[in-house]
Each structure stands twice: as C-alpha cells, then as structure tokens.
Amino acid sequence: MSYTITDKIAVVTGAGRGIGKAIAEMLAANGAHVICVSKSPESCGAVAEGINANGGKAKAVAVDVSDGPAVKQVCEELLNEFGTIDILVNNAGITRDGLLFRMSEDDWSSVINTNLSSCFYWTKGLARPMTRKRWGRIVNITSVSGIAGNAGQINYAAAKAGMIGFTKSVAREFASRSVTCNAVAPGFITTDMTASFVENASEAILANIPLKKFGEAADIANIVTYLCSEESKYVTGQVFTIDGGMVM
C-alpha cells in the first residue's frame, strides 16, 4: 500500500530500533525525507544510512528527547536547515517497571520525561510552521498500558495515558489549521523493549491476545504511515489500538 507523503519532511523520534525504525523506513519508502532521532548516534546513524543506501532520503540526529533545552535547540536547527517540518512522530520511549512501593523517584520521572514531556518539547518546537502552512501530521505512540493500566507500570501507564490527553488536546488546538494529531496504542510488539518479557512469559501473554500472536513493528508502521499521509486528512484526535484484540 502506498500513501501520499512524497517530499514531506518527517521527524521520527526513537528511530534507532524497533517500532521507530520501521516507521522511519516506511515513511522513507513512501517518499518522505526522514530525520531519524535516537539517543545514541550509532543507532539513528545506521538507520539513516540504510535508508539513504536504499535510495531514500534521511538524516540522523542524536539527542536525549527528555532534555527540553537540547530538543529546543535541535528543533531550531532543523527548521533553519529544512525551512519546515511536515510530520512529527513522537515514538521514543522507555520502561522502568516496578511495583509502586518499590519504584524510585528517578524511575518515575525518567519514564514521565522520556515518554510524555518529550511530546511537549518536540510538538512545541516543530508545530508552528505546520499551523502556518495549514498542513501537518503529529502521531504519538502511546500503549495499551495507557488505556487499560498495568500493575508494575504506574509510571509508564501514567505517561502513556498522559500522551492520550495530550494528543486529543493538540488535535483540538490545531484542527482549525488542518494539522491533525492522533495516537497509536500498540499491544505486544516484538522489539528490544519487550524481548525479555516475551521470552519469560510468552504463554501467559499469548493467553490474553485473541489473535494469539505478538505484533510486528511493521503492524504499527503501517497505520502510522497512513496517519502521516494526505489520505488521513479527516482523522484527528483518535487513538488506534493495534494489539491483536487484547483491549476491546
């Protein structure tokens, strides 16, 4: 399936691995110029290099998405270099799981800052040109944990639930400028983030997934690519759950 994204400039955070890498590659395959963001220069560098080697257009930027001033500076540099950004995918995220009584303040704040505050920094830094030219797409990668809650993940579930409120509010603020903002909530997708989980509790997890299999990064990239395209112009403020039927 191909979508109309040609020559749009897209920023994808957390593009060094897993879901973000699949999103960056699919956007590039559909004609976007993709800025791949990750924490380490090696991972986003390798993804951008791969896209360029396959005939696409990509650039790598290494920055800690939870560092507000650093993200502000990167956004200014990108707007100077490209003139505009059309698409923003807030995908970078981490987990620091633990039960409430054992959770440190650092585990709480690092998860809130990396998953949720980062959406505020990037959207504030990049959305103004979208509203001026009356075209823009913002997609936030939340989680089923943010919809249903999850024992042992109060920090992560709170951050991901916050992203849903953020998404709906941005959608309302920017709707009159034809800038859409949607969220995608994955279930269990096989990536580095879920590797140990899936290895240790595979049977127990599968018992709760009606489709009886884990998702692939491409399952998320498919819907994100649609939400970044011209074809999704009448869709905003929505949360798309891609989880094999776990949350209905």
**Least distance to ligand NAP, CB of residue 245, Å:** 15
Query: Which one of 18, 56, 136, 162 is in contact with ligand NAP (CB under 6 A)?
Result: 18
**Residue 38, interface with ligand NAP (CB under 6 A)?**
yes
Query: Which one of 123, 143, 155, 180 is in contact with ligand NAP (CB under 6 A)?
Result: 143
Q: Which long-range contacts (CB under 8 A, 24 or more apart) does 24-27 make?
A: 24/48, 24/51, 24/58, 25/50, 25/51, 25/56, 25/221, 26/218, 26/221, 26/222, 26/224, 26/225, 27/87, 27/89, 27/224, 27/225, 27/228
**Residue 17, interface with ligand NAP (CB under 6 A)?**
yes
**Tokens 């585990």 label which residue?**
107
What is the per-residue binding string for ligand NAP in 88-117, x denoting contact by CB under 6 A?
A: ---xxxx-------------------xx--
Task: Determine the interface stretch with ligand NAP among 61-69, 96-104, 120-128, 171-179 (rule: CB under 6 A).
Answer: 61-69
**Least distance to ligand NAP, CB of residue 176, Å:** 29
**Residue 194, interface with ligand NAP (CB under 6 A)?**
yes
**How large is the C-alpha radius of gyration of the chain?**
17
How many residues sit close enough to ligand NAP to count as binding (CB under 6 A)?
29
**Least distance to ligand NAP, CB of residue 215, Å:** 7
Cα distance between residue 5 and residue 9, in whole Å: 9
Q: Which of 111, 97, 140, 143 is nearest to 246 (CA)?
A: 143
| Tokens, residue 89 | 């995918």
Question: Is 19 or 29 the residue whose CB approaches ligand NAP more closely?
Answer: 19
**Residue 191, interface with ligand NAP (CB under 6 A)?**
yes
Q: Which of 235, 193, 241, 222 is nearest to 25 (CA)?
A: 222
**Residue 125, interface with ligand NAP (CB under 6 A)?**
no
Q: Which helix (H) or strand (E) holds 180?
A: strand 179-186
Q: Which residues are catalytic?
A: 156
Q: Is the dihedral of CA 224, 230, 235, 236 positive or negative?
A: positive
Q: Do 88 and 31 meet the contact criterion of CB atoms below 8 Å apart?
A: no
Task: Determine the interface stretch with ligand NAP among 24-32, 128-136, 188-196, 202-210 (rule: CB under 6 A).
Answer: 188-196
| Residues contributing to the site for ligand NAP (CB under 6 A) | 13-14, 16-20, 38-40, 43, 64-66, 91-94, 114-115, 141, 143, 186, 188-189, 191-194
